[in-house]
Amino acid sequence: MKKPSWGIILGIIAIVVFALAWGTPSPAGGDEPHGWSFPTIGTFSGTWELSVGAHLWSDHFDVRNLQVRADVDLAPGLRWHALARSNRLLNGLGEWEPRLDEHFVEWYGFHNSGHGVFSFSVKAGRARYLRFPYPDAISTFDQVPGVEDLQGGGITGYSGVIATADYAHRSGFGLHGVWIDWSFGVDRPAEWAERYIFYRRTTPPWHFEARWGDLALRSLPMGKCGEGYSIFVGRDMGGWDAGLLWEDVSGQETYTGIVITFKKESTTRWMGSMAFDYTRSPEGFAVQVPLLSGTFGNLIRMDASREPAFTGILMAPGKKGFLEAQGLVLVGEIVAERIRTYWQSGQVRNWYEHRLSSWGKTSGKGVVAVMVEDPWYLQLEALVSPHTTFSSWEALEEWERDRMGPAQLSQKVVYRFYAPPE
């Protein structure tokens, strides 16, 4: 008897999941409005930043990775992102040969209901980050595109039309898929980068996740997948979280991993603001230092450390401040989180802003946008290795020698929108 294809299996699973969604009663309340949402902070509004990196140890100090980033909203659910570096060198600023590490236009949106959330994203261009709508615990172990292109190799990352669809049912089950039509300098046939069903559940202090389907392979070139499963178990330890991963996918060794998620403290904020990292090859410390930054459009920028002085006096209910004195009232809000990832040689070469929730009026004539930013912080360190044996000290040394260590930086941001009362 012929074995059913993955397309048939996932199709049946999709029908079951959506049948559950249709037949499950809607929960009462909920802060997120139901229906379609295409978040925007306003046409031609956005941010930019100039930064430079360095790698140092007792025998060297290399300045590198001079980069400029720009992000601009073009319309509801449509935005442009670019991250350019000054040259193609792994270390040094001795040549001027600008290149785009990331450059894409993205169309995205969400449909929220009492049953679950459907999310989609279509990017056209070059990207180094696939996680959408938000990285779950298993995603934190994903291999980050490397630096082979800075050492004479081909393009790293993902280039072409990248389509992502995700449905998360309130039961914890869901579907996720990423399809890439390779182009813009990459000659590969269109293919799935990943497609799987998932289950997530949190029962404090425990968190559980599982995936089954075609999962992303950790081998080069990136963007290929194989049949298998991943299981994650995590626990809230109070001041930090810890979790363990088991991943068995055809086409590669079985991987195990451990992740430590940090809380926002002075140390993790300093490390996050500088993208601080210890690297083994070459050995040393890596940083990425912000130099200048600014905004586009009608966007007032604010550091969250000043927020009590700003919101407590100017915008808190019952207190008349500057915006209220002008007759403006709060009409909408977008909550977002920016994420950067890195591992090889500590090179930080991606940036993505996840729009997590939105409500109300966020653009249009007379709308004033206030952007309140938390400091960047080191959110987590994930270690993953192609070994499953821990029975001896030698086995542990082998696990550590072959492991990869993706790190993730995070910055929370809230956009608040004010307009004259109607």
- Is 2 part of any domain? no
Query: How many structural domains is the chain composed of?
Result: 1
Amino acid at 259: V
Amino acid at 288: Q
Judge whether 285 and 57 are in contact, CB under 8 Å.
yes
- % of the chain with per-residue pLDDT over 70: 87
User: What is the pLDDT confidence band of residue 11, given thresholds at 50, 70 and 90?
Assistant: low
- Is 31 part of any domain? no
- Is 72 part of any domain? yes
- Is 273 part of any domain? yes
Q: How far apart are CA 165 and CA 140, in angstroms?
A: 19
Q: How far apart are CA 362 and CA 37, in angstroms?
A: 11
Sign of CA dihedral 114, 39, 360, 309: positive
For the chain, helix, strand, coil in percent to 5 are: 15, 50, 35
3-state secondary structure of 318: coil
Quick: pLDDT tens for 283-301.
Answer: 999 999 999 999 999 899 9
The CA–CA distances, whole Å, from 81 to 101, 199, 263 equal 11, 31, 29
* Residue 239 confidence (pLDDT): 84
User: What is the pLDDT confidence band of residue 21, given thresholds at 50, 70 and 90?
Assistant: very low
- Is 274 part of any domain? yes
* Residue 34 confidence (pLDDT): 86
- Is 158 part of any domain? yes
User: How many alpha carbons fall within 13 Å on the CB side of residue 378?
Assistant: 25
- Is 240 part of any domain? yes
Does residue 133 have a cis peptide bond before it, meaning omega lies within 30 degrees of 0? yes
- Is 4 part of any domain? no
Lowest mean pLDDT, pick from 28-32, 170-174, 370-374: 28-32
- Given a cut of 90, whether residue 392 has pLDDT beyond it is yes
Quote the tokens at residue 339: 């994420």
**Paired strand residues for 9:** none
Which residue segment(s) compose the domain that 97 sits in? 39-419
Amino acid at 113: S
